[in-house]
Amino acid sequence: MDFGFTEEQLMIQDVARRIAREKIAPSAEHFDRTGEFPAENIKLLGENGLMGIEVPTEYGGAGMDPTSYALAIMEIAEADCAHSTIVSVNNSLFCNGILKFGNEDQKQLYVRAIAEGREVGAFALTEPQSGSDATAMRCRAVRQADGSFVINGKKSWITSGPVAKYVVLFAMTDPDKGARGVTAFMIDADKPGFHRGKTEPKLGIRASATCEVEFTDYVADAGEVLGTEGEGFRIAMGVLDAGRIGIAAQAVGLSKAAYKAAIAYAKERKSFGQPIGSFQMVQARIADMKCRLDASEILTLRAAWAKEQTDRNGGRFSTEASVAKLTASESAMFITHGALQIHGGMGYSKEMPLERYFRDAKITEIYEGTSEIQRLVIARNETGIR
C-alpha cells in the first residue's frame, strides 16, 4: 500500500472539499431540519464528476479510482452525512454494479444519466420482512412467454427512493433455488406498476430521502435484466462490498467533523479558570477519539486500495471492506458521543451541529450490512467456516 496520493486523487479531493465547504456545509442544517432533498447540491456534485467518481469518462464519469472515491466521500461527509449517503449510493450501489455486470446499452442509458448528475439512482434489496437475510425476499419476478418478467412485491428503506429515476432491483425468479434464484433488474420509475410509499421520517441523514417502493404487475423487458438470470445475489453481495467502503469513508468524514469540533471546544471552553482541554479526563477522551479516527481512516484507505487491486487482478476485497466499515462506523458512534459529551449541554442543543453528528452516526452501523453482519463476514472469511 502507498498512501502517497497522486495529483489526480488530490484534485478530486480538493473539488469535493471546495463544494462541501462552500455549498453543502452552509445548507446542512436547513436540509436536516426540513428533510428536503438537496437537489441543486446533488446536481452540482454531478456536474463536477462526484456522482460517478469511478465511472469511466465514456459513460459520463470522472474515470478515477477507489481511493479517489474514498477521499471525496470523506470530504462531503465532513460537511454533511446525508449528502454523502446520496453520493455513495449513486457511486457504489448503483453505478458500480451496472459497470461490472451490465451490457453496453445499459451502461449508456443508466450509468451516464446518474454519473452526470441528471438523474438519481437507487438500490432495492431490503424488504419489510427481510433485511440482513436477503435470501428470504418475497418480491417475485415471473418470466413470460415473450422473455419479459412481471414483477410484484415491496422493497423497504430504499435510499433516494422518493426521487430516483432508475433503480437496481433484486427479485426472486426461482424461489426453489434460494440465493441462486435471485435476479437483478434495471427499473425505470416512470413505467406503470412502480409505486413510491411515503418518505420515512428518520432519526438522522434526513436530507437523504428514503421510502418503501412497491411493484404491481411491473413489466421488465428481457433487456432490463442486469447480468444473467439467477446471478442477482452474487451481484448484490459484490456491490455491497464496494458500498461498505463508501460507508466507512462516510463514517470517517463524520468523525473528523465531530473530532475537530471537540478539539476547538476543549481549547475555548473554560471551567474552574482553565480550558477544559487541560483536564485529564477530557484529554483521555480526546486521545481515544484520535486513535479510533486514525485507525478508521487507514483501514478505509486500505480497503479502497484492496478494491483497486481486485479491479485490476480479480479476487475479493470483502474482508478489508467489512473491517473498514465495522471499525469506522463504530468509531463514528464513539467519537460523536465523545464530542457531544465534551460540549456538555451545548452539545445537546440544536444550536450546534454536534447533535446532528450524533444522530447521523448511528445509521453507519446499520445500513449496507449491520455491525453484526460485518463480524460474521470477517469471521467466516478468516476461518473458512460457514
Active-site option among 75, 224, 355, 368: 368
Helix orientation angle between 280-313 and 66-79, rounded to the nearest 10 degrees: 150
Strand partners, 270: 275
225 — pLDDT class (breaks 50, 70, 90): very high
What gap in Å lies between CA 231 and CA 183, rounded to an integer? 6
pLDDT at 150 over 90: yes
**For the chain, what is the largest distance between any 2 Cα atoms, rounded to a whole number of angstroms?**
81
Instruction: Count Cα neighbours of 104 within 13 Å in the Cβ-side half-sphere.
Output: 1
4 — pLDDT class (breaks 50, 70, 90): confident
Assess contact for 299 and 248: CB atoms under 8 A.
yes
pLDDT of residue 2: 67
183 — pLDDT class (breaks 50, 70, 90): very high
- The full set of domains in the chain, from first to last, is 7-120 (1.10.540.10), 122-230 (2.40.110.10), 233-383 (1.20.140.10)
pLDDT at 135 over 90: no
Place of cell 462526484: 50
What burial letters (b/e) apply to 251-263, b meaning 16+ CB within 10 Å?
Answer: bbbbbbbbbebbb
Q: Report how far apart, in Å, the C-alpha atoms of 29 and of each of 83, 272, 351 are.
A: 12, 33, 10
Q: What is the DSSP letter of 142?
A: E
The whole-model pTM stands at 0.96
Q: Judge whether 368 counts as a catalytic residue.
A: yes
What gap in Å lies between CA 75 and CA 17, rounded to an integer? 5
